Structure 1
Amino acid sequence: MTVGDLIGLLSACDREAPARLAINPFFPMAHRIGGVIASQDENGNPLVFIAEAKDAEQIGHLPPNVAVQLTWHEPAEAPSRRRRTATPPRDGSS
């Protein structure tokens, strides 16, 4: 993804919405963005880093729909629940 691609994707979003980083597909968490740094790779090509906030605080788990949209998780439905029957008391009384 290029900076232009990222700008294009972000331009469709609410400018007042907080931005977060989605980290680790196997245990997806959200982190605050701390900064954007322009740099160069080992060949001198331009490169941009989006950094995690200094406090490196995990805000919480990603919403399941975000992990699905990132293709980190498969869509899942909650298992159907059957109505439980009452269990009779163990002492034999009703």
Structure 2
Amino acid sequence: MTSSELTVGDLIDLLSGCNRNAPVRQAMNPFFPMAHRLAQVVQSVDETSQTVVYLAEGSDDDAQLGHLPPEVAIALTWQGPVQAPPRRPRRRAGGN
């Protein structure tokens, strides 16, 4: 396993500081960030005979919850903070 992969132990450590009653969601697709409801945890073996745990979204029609909140996409560095462009002075009738 490469060291860049998050392990079950890492995930447990990260989750231990979270509210235990909070729903778990999965953020997907950095180019079109969406939130998905998680429904299953499945343990399997990959092609190298290594045990792998998969977090899967639900199969219900409402498993995709919609767009990811902008602050989450920013925290994941999937998008940068967006600021409104500076306002231009209004033009007046007559070209002044």
Q: What is the Cα deviation at residue 78 of structure 1? A: 2.4
Number of the residue aligned with 1:79: 85
Gaps of 5+ in 1: 88-94
Q: What is the Cα deviation at residue 79 of structure 1? A: 2.6
Q: State the alpha-carbon separation in 2 of the partners of residues 82 and 11 from structure 1.
A: 49
Number of the residue aligned with 2:67: 61
State TM-score, norm by structure 1: 0.81
Equivalenced residue count is: 88
Code of the residue aligned with 2:38 in structure 1: it is I
Gaps of 5+ in 2: 1-5
Code of the residue aligned with 2:67 in structure 1: it is H
Misfit runs of 4+, over 3 Å: 80-87
Taking only aligned residues, the RMSD between alpha carbons, in angstroms, comes to 1.9
* SS of 2:54 mapped into structure 1: strand
Q: Which has the larger radius of gyration?
A: 1
The answer to whether the aligner puts 1:8 opposite 2:19 as a matched pair is: no
Deviations 1:27-78 (A, max 9, x none): 0000100100011111111100000111153111111110011111112222
Q: State the alpha-carbon separation in 2 of the partners of residues 19 and 82 from structure 1.
A: 43
Q: Which of 9, 25, 29 is matched with 2:34 structurally?
A: 29
